[in-house]
Structure 1
Amino acid sequence: MKKIVLGLAIAAMTFVGCKNGEKTETSSEETTETVDQAIVDSHNSENSLDWAGVYEGTTPCADCSGIETILELKNDKTFKLSQTYLGKTEDDNLFTQEGNFIWNQDGTEIRLKIVSGSFQFKVGENQVWMLDEKGNVIEGDLANMYILKKTIQ
């Protein structure tokens, strides 16, 4: 009888010991996944994309047929923004601003430093999205008109 009890005790200890080993392996896999995610999370628009270049598009306008917008982003973090109000007289239809821009902490959006007002853009692969005054991507029927496409690198 003692042999049977001793045999069951050894079998139970072996079974419990194997269970603990499995948990260790799972924990190890979870750690590897966490490290992989941390590596992936370090990539952003600022350090992973070829963002410097010229972006163009026609954005909506309340009192004209559209605003032809050309944004040039340079590697030294300077910009040139030209906006032509289509359907207006030549004297008051072209506005050009130049200056510096800064990246947000996540490296996904830029803010143009201009004298009056502000422009913010989300930077993606070969395009930028003009953001609203709160820094959100513009949604709705005209959302696609707020995307400037890269034309020159």
Structure 2
Amino acid sequence: MKKIFLAFGIATTIFIGCKHVENKENVSDETMETTDNNVVDSHNSENSLDWAGVYEGTTPCADCEGIKTVLELRDDKTYTLSQTYLGKMEGENEFVQTGNFVWDESGSKVLLKSESDTLQYKVGENQLWMLDSSGNMVEGDLAEFYILKKTLQ
């Protein structure tokens, strides 16, 4: 008789344990579906990256050796952009621009506004991609030269 109760107790425990695991899996699946349908990923470059800092690179130039570009983005949404035209006479080769920048709607690009122009950069992990006048990535053989690397935090 003891063996029957022992066997019955073990069978009951296994049955209840398996049923409990099955219910738990169903709840997890339902929870995941609900979560997947209701979660909006609000992560973007503006709120997820440590974007403030100094970025440097040498961009192509049509009539010089290159343009040494240094861009500092500050937490207060101001910037300083220094561009030095390499191979040109000193005094006529360096241009500095300061102002405010804004983030685009997606939070992935900064727009440097000046009196005469708006420059756009896509913000990535420790680098900026200079964009064309339409806000698109530069493509082709020289694309890698339109990337500024972060130098200071």
Q: Give the TM-score category using the shorter length.
A: 0.7 to 0.9
Q: CA deviation at 1:86?
A: 0.2
User: Is residue 2:77 matched to residue 1:74?
Assistant: no
**What residue in structure 2 maps to residue 44 of structure 1?**
44
3-state SS of 1:90 partner: coil
Task: Summarize deviations over 1:14-72 as a string: whole Å, max 9, x none.
Answer: xxxxxxxxxx9866542222234x1xx20111011110000000000000010000000
**What residue in structure 1 maps to residue 126 of structure 2?**
126
* TM-score (ref. length: structure 1): 0.78
**What residue in structure 2 maps to residue 141 of structure 1?**
141
Q: Name the CA distance, whole Å, in 2 between partners of 1:76 and 1:28.
A: 40
Q: Name the CA distance, whole Å, in 2 between partners of 1:52 and 1:25.
A: 40
Q: Of the candidates 38, 53, 56, which is equivalent to residue 35 of structure 1?
A: 38
**What residue in structure 2 maps to residue 84 of structure 1?**
84
Q: Letter of the 2:86 partner, please give it.
A: L
Q: CA deviation at 1:101?
A: 0.1
Q: Name the CA distance, whole Å, in 1 between partners of 2:30 and 2:151.
A: 48
Number of aligned residues: 128
Residue identity (%): 64
* 4+ residue runs over 4 A deviation: 24-28
Q: CA deviation at 1:118?
A: 1.8
Structure 2: gaps (5+ residues)? 1-26
Q: Name the CA distance, whole Å, in 2 between partners of 1:77 and 1:89.
A: 33
Q: Letter of the 2:33 partner, please give it.
A: E
Q: Name the CA distance, whole Å, in 2 between partners of 1:131 and 1:25.
A: 44
Q: Name the CA distance, whole Å, in 1 between partners of 2:38 and 2:64.
A: 52
Q: CA deviation at 1:146?
A: 0.3
* TM-score (ref. length: structure 2): 0.78
**What residue in structure 1 maps to residue 20 of structure 2?**
none
In structure 2, relative to structure 1, the CA distance for the partners of 1:79 and 1:30 (3 Å cut) is same
